[in-house]
């Protein structure tokens, strides 16, 4: 009798001891189903959710609907929004449409603008078109200019052309310049040519230099060539050096060669050493 009682008590005890293990084994499936339901997945089985989980799923669905409505997705259900959410959505939609209209986007719906917003948008577009016409950049629609704006654009274009001619930028139309502007542009062009010649740039036109400028340019070219020869650059024209410069350059090279041979560092040509210098060079130096 005692043995039967012990057996009866032992079975429930075993079941109770295994319950946490069984619950733990089932929990991943439960959590996966919960996440699937919160994400709106087709694999969701709401019959396996408890009351708290159903509440969490409902909140997730509501939040997802708010996002869909804010982004204009077809999955949006306006009927499920609260009054504050509906107001916030209307405000966001209006701001987005106003921004699209001001930026010239195709999504702009002008019918949803207030009269003041429509006037400000039109004014902004008019000013943008005026700027494009004056600067010659962007899409200019001259048909939308007023008579006074047309005159303003012509004056701005003439000034821009004069600036291009004087600075050597853009497309210069000499025919549109006044006599004073032609003279100013000519002076600026001459100054640029002088600078190009003195700097050794390809744009130099020696034929346009005055005798004084040609002399200064020749001196600058000679100094650049001398510096190139002193640095051993391949652009050096030794034939352009004076006798004194050639002698000084040869002496400097002789000293460098002797120092290289003496220290054993750098390029050394023993054949160019004097007998006296060669005696001071120790093998292995």
In a domain, 265, yes or no: yes
Are 236 and 265 found together in one domain?
no
Are 183 and 230 found together in one domain?
yes
Query: Along the 285 residues of the chain, how does pLDDT read in single tens digits?
Result: 544 444 444 445 544 455 454 444 456 788 888 888 888 888 888 888 888 888 888 899 899 989 999 888 888 988 988 899 999 998 999 999 999 998 888 889 899 899 999 999 989 888 888 998 988 777 888 888 999 999 999 999 889 889 988 888 878 888 888 899 899 999 999 999 999 999 989 989 999 999 999 999 999 999 999 999 989 899 999 999 999 999 999 999 999 999 999 998 989 999 999 999 989 988 765
Residue 284 sits in which domain range? 250-285
Picking from 171, 191, 217, the residue at the C-terminal end of a domain is: 171
In a domain, 263, yes or no: yes
> pLDDT tens, 189-232?
999 999 999 998 998 999 999 999 999 999 999 999 999 998 98
Picking from 207, 224, 241, the residue at the C-terminal end of a domain is: 241
In terms of Cβ atoms closer than 10 Å to its own Cβ (0-12, 13-18, 19+), residue 30 is middle
> What is the rounded average pLDDT for all residues in the chain?
85
In a domain, 257, yes or no: yes
In a domain, 132, yes or no: yes
What's the Cα-to-Cα distance from 198 to each of 162, 219, 220, 273, rounded to whole Å?
26, 9, 6, 39
In a domain, 84, yes or no: no
CA neighbor of 228 nearest in space, from 247, 215, 251, 245: 245
In terms of Cβ atoms closer than 10 Å to its own Cβ (0-12, 13-18, 19+), residue 230 is middle
In a domain, 229, yes or no: yes
Are 285 and 265 found together in one domain?
yes
In a domain, 107, yes or no: no
In a domain, 150, yes or no: yes
Residue keyed to tokens 């106003």? 98
Q: How many domains does the chain have?
A: 3
CA neighbor of 168 nearest in space, from 221, 133, 205: 205
């Amino acid at each position: 009798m005692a043995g039967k009682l012990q057996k009866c008590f032992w079975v429930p005890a075993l079941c109770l001891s295994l319950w946490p293990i069984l619950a733990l084994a089932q929990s991943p499936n439960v959590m996966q189903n919960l996440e699937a339901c919160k994400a709106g997945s087709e694999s969701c089985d709401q019959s396996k959710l408890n009351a708290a989980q159903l509440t969490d799923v409902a909140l997730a669905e509501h939040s997802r609907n708010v996002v869909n409505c804010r982004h204009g997705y077809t999955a949006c259900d306006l009927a499920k929004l609260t009054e504050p959410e509906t107001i916030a959505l209307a405000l966001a939609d209006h701001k987005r449409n106003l921004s699209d209209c001001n930026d010239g986007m195709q999504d702009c719906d002008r019918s949803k603008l207030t009269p003041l917003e429509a006037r400000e948008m039109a004014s902004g577009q008019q000013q943008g078109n005026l700027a494009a016409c004056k600067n010659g950049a962007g899409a200019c629609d001259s048909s939308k200019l007023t008579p006074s704006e047309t005159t303003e654009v012509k004056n701005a274009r003439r000034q821009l052309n004069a600036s291009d001619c004087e600075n050597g930028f853009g497309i210069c139309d000499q025919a549109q310049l006044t006599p004073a502007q032609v003279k100013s542009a000519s002076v600026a062009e001459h100054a640029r040519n002088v600078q190009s010649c003195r700097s050794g740039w390809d744009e130099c036109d020696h034929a346009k230099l005055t005798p004084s400028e040609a002399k200064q340019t020749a001196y600058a070219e000679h100094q650049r060539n001398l510096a190139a020869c002193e640095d051993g650059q391949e652009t050096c024209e030794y034939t352009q050096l004076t006798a004194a410069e050639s002698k000084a350059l040869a002496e400097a090279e002789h000293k460098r060669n002797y120092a290289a041979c003496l220290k054993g560092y750098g390029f050394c040509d023993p054949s160019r050493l004097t007998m006296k210098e060669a005696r001071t060079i120790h093998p292995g130096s």
